[in-house]
Structure 1
Amino acid sequence: MRDRSSRTRRTWVARVLTAAGAAGALVAAQLAAPVPAGAAISRAALALRWAPIHYQDVDATGSHALGGQSDYIAKVDFDGDLNGRNNWDRTGQAGTALAAHAYYSVVETSTHWYITYLFFHPRDWTDHPFFETEHENDGEGVLFAIERDSSTYGVLRGAVTVANSDFYSYTPAGSTWTSGRESIDGTLQFQASPHDTFQHPVTAQEAQGHGLKAYPQYAINGDGLIYYPSTVAETPSNGNDRDVRYRLIDIFDAGGLWAQRANASLFAGLGTFAGDTSGDCGTGTFSCSANSANAPWGWDDGNDLPARGELASDPAKVSAEYFTTPAGLARTYSYNPYAGAAAALAKAARTAPPVVD
């Protein structure tokens, strides 16, 4: 019975890997080959096309840095489970390589695609003994608003990034969007990728706390990683690897982050990753806080009008608040899996205490 069960598991894993490889190859083929005029583009291909080239500053100093590994991006289950309360301790352990992944979700209106990207780190850490806190798990990201025009992939008009408990807005050069209720914080730059034929937007994260802004408002200071969107996930060779491919994971996948939103091992509340104070978190620093990181439906800038989570769940509203846009920006969604839980999100936003990342 044990042998048959083992063979069954191996067969199942092989089938899953084969299916995942086939899906990745299909998306890669869509990017490589011309798409016929009028053909629908898959959300996975759309997300891959607009996924940012991502600069990650790395700090290798101090025991909590783990030689720089604490600044590597990873899956939430990099250690093989969906328990958010053991990620701090398992970062850097043998057998838990931090292969590069990022998460995305796509929601749609008749006029725009809105793509949210989440970059996850198992540690939000510091090497300062005063005033700064650490915590298990860290989720920062960016929203891109893509105008649907006659082209295959549309035109990127605006971006809003998440840097801890603050949002920052950007537009590419030549955008038809201008400052709205919030002033635009800078220009979103583009760079060519060595792994495809596209110019990608460029984002960057600081070391330790991992706030995310448009490059070069954060930049690599010494050691650092440059992550490139791809259909494969690579582990950095060291903390100064300037060509690391990362793989995208759909938040709405079956069994994915959105499906796991009520999993008490992974989430302490709606949109809040579970994290405890075990291990050396907080040792030699000001403190270690529990349950202090957010998924996209928990992101919030408490000083701005959009409610908690709306950057992901109602990005058309956020775009209308942050930017002045040409007439015709639709506010009704044709595809938005977040909307099915809109009432719960709104209620949680009104009653839950703020979570500061």
Structure 2
Amino acid sequence: MLDRFRVTGRSLVVAVLTAALTTAGLAAPAPAGAAVTRAQLALRWAPIHYQDVDATGSHALNGRSDYITKVDFDGDLNGRNNWDRTGQAGVSLAAHAYYSVVETGTHWYLTYLFFHPRDWTDHPFFETEHENDGEGVLLVVERDGSDYGLLRAAVTVAHTDFYSYTPSGSTWTSGREGVDGTLQLQSSPHDGFAHPVTAQEAKGHGLKAYPQYNINGDGIVYYPSTVAETPSSGDDRDVRYQLIDIFATGGLWAQRANTTLFASAGTFAGDDSGDCGAGTYDCSTNSANAPWGWDDGNDLPARGQLATDPAKVAAEYFTIPGALSRTYTANPYTS
């Protein structure tokens, strides 16, 4: 298997292999003895992601409204034109997801954001829609001395609620919050790694561990990669998505005070222009959040702490045997 390939004393061979795998959209392994970068760690554990798709009604755009993409898919960082731009000809909805890595001496905390330009509905009563949608998952990986660590738990964001999961064999159990299910792992055909499997519903895009949400009819299966593909249709079961570092130069965190993208701290700007809300109950404004704005109003962690203080979330959500450090060795959210 390529992901287990190791080279000793041949840096040129490693460089060539890494370049070839990256060009092919595959995850390149870390050379023996080399420290794994945050980007490699994020790619290794990035979810295989099942996205349900609904093509009903004009707001669905034949399913395109359920595609994951980046916030500047339309070429700008204006959050208030994304609803309209989603349906324009020539606009790319290539698959992307955002990530951040926070570290302590005992664990890595990997946050993934899946962005949709529309949170939509085809119902005329009781349900609202809004411009922009950001939901995601926190993965907790124990630093056990191996290159990529040991996956212990996940907490997902479904609207204004969090859901917690553990993979089979995890020693972590329920804490203040009960574990909501098993986090399944699935081998990717693009890198050979076993990745956690998540899923989002159509329209509102709540995110849970697969199969608590699943594809119902049409849908897309997204695989983590180093390239961004656009689904061939709303029923494409092999689409690669590219990761974007939240802390990249000029990235989401750097733009957090940009009032064209964010209406307030951690909340994407979104208005009710165009046909948002037409034929439905309402179109709400400024209704989507970045990870530092995620909140579960019924639970103890404060707004944004799923991303900014994930060790606190882990300690409250789970009963954890062994050590769990609360001291961050790297946390760009607070630096």
Q: Same fold (TM over 0.5)?
A: yes
Q: Report if the CA contact (8 A) 2:65-2:117 is conserved.
A: yes
Match of 2:279 in 1: 284
Judging changes above 3 Å, is the alpha-carbon distance between structure 1 residues 116 and 33 closer, same or farther for their aligned structure 2 residues? closer
Residues 1:230 and 2:225 are matched in the alignment: yes
- SS of 1:321's equivalent? helix
In 1, the alpha carbon distance for the partners of 2:39 and 2:24 equals 7
Residues 1:246 and 2:215 are matched in the alignment: no
Match of 1:347 in 2: none
Q: Report if the CA contact (8 A) 2:48-2:198 is conserved.
A: yes
Residues 1:321 and 2:325 are matched in the alignment: no
- Structure 1 residue ranges without an equivalent (≥5): 1-20, 341-357
How high is the sequence identity, in percent, across the aligned residues? 79
Aligned equivalent of 1:45, options 36, 40, 45: 40
- SS of 2:211's equivalent? coil
Match of 1:294 in 2: 289
TM-score for the superposition, normalised by structure 1: 0.87
Report how far residue 28 of structure 1 moved. Answer: 6.5
Judging changes above 3 Å, is the alpha-carbon distance between structure 1 residues 58 and 138 closer, same or farther for their aligned structure 2 residues? same
Judging changes above 3 Å, is the alpha-carbon distance between structure 1 residues 136 and 94 closer, same or farther for their aligned structure 2 residues? same
Aligned equivalent of 1:201, options 196, 201, 217: 196
Residues 1:25 and 2:22 are matched in the alignment: yes
Q: CA RMSD in A?
A: 1.6
Report how far residue 34 of structure 1 moved. Answer: 5.4
Report how far residue 246 of structure 1 moved. Answer: 0.1
Comparing both structures, which one devotes a greater share of its residues to helix? 1
Aligned equivalent of 2:262, options 238, 258, 267: 267
In 2, the alpha carbon distance for the partners of 1:276 and 1:331 equals 39
Amino acid in the other structure paired with 2:169: G
Match of 2:164 in 1: 169
Residues 1:120 and 2:129 are matched in the alignment: no
Match of 2:75 in 1: 80
Residues 1:98 and 2:96 are matched in the alignment: no
Aligned equivalent of 1:68, options 63, 70, 78: 63
C-alpha distance after superposition, 1:204-225 (max 9, x if no partner)? 0000000000000000000000
- SS of 1:82's equivalent? coil
Judging changes above 3 Å, is the alpha-carbon distance between structure 1 residues 46 and 33 closer, same or farther for their aligned structure 2 residues? closer
Q: Report if the CA contact (8 A) 2:25-2:190 is conserved.
A: no
Amino acid in the other structure paired with 1:92: G
Q: Report if the CA contact (8 A) 2:185-2:197 is conserved.
A: yes
In 1, the alpha carbon distance for the partners of 2:160 and 2:254 equals 25
Report how far residue 97 of structure 1 moved. Answer: 1.6
Q: Which runs of 4+ in 1 moved over 6 A?
A: 21-24, 26-29
Residues 1:148 and 2:149 are matched in the alignment: no
Length, aligned pairs only = 318
In 2, the alpha carbon distance for the partners of 1:101 and 1:22 equals 21
Residues 1:36 and 2:21 are matched in the alignment: no
C-alpha distance after superposition, 1:294-336 (max 9, x if no partner)? 0000000000000000000000000000000113100000000
- SS of 2:333's equivalent? helix
Residues 1:185 and 2:180 are matched in the alignment: yes
In 1, the alpha carbon distance for the partners of 2:264 and 2:21 equals 32
In 2, the alpha carbon distance for the partners of 1:23 and 1:250 equals 22
In 1, the alpha carbon distance for the partners of 2:49 and 2:162 equals 18
Q: Report if the CA contact (8 A) 2:111-2:137 is conserved.
A: yes
Amino acid in the other structure paired with 2:171: T
Report how far residue 241 of structure 1 moved. Answer: 0.3
Amino acid in the other structure paired with 1:155: L
C-alpha distance after superposition, 1:48-77 (max 9, x if no partner)? 000000000000010000000000001000
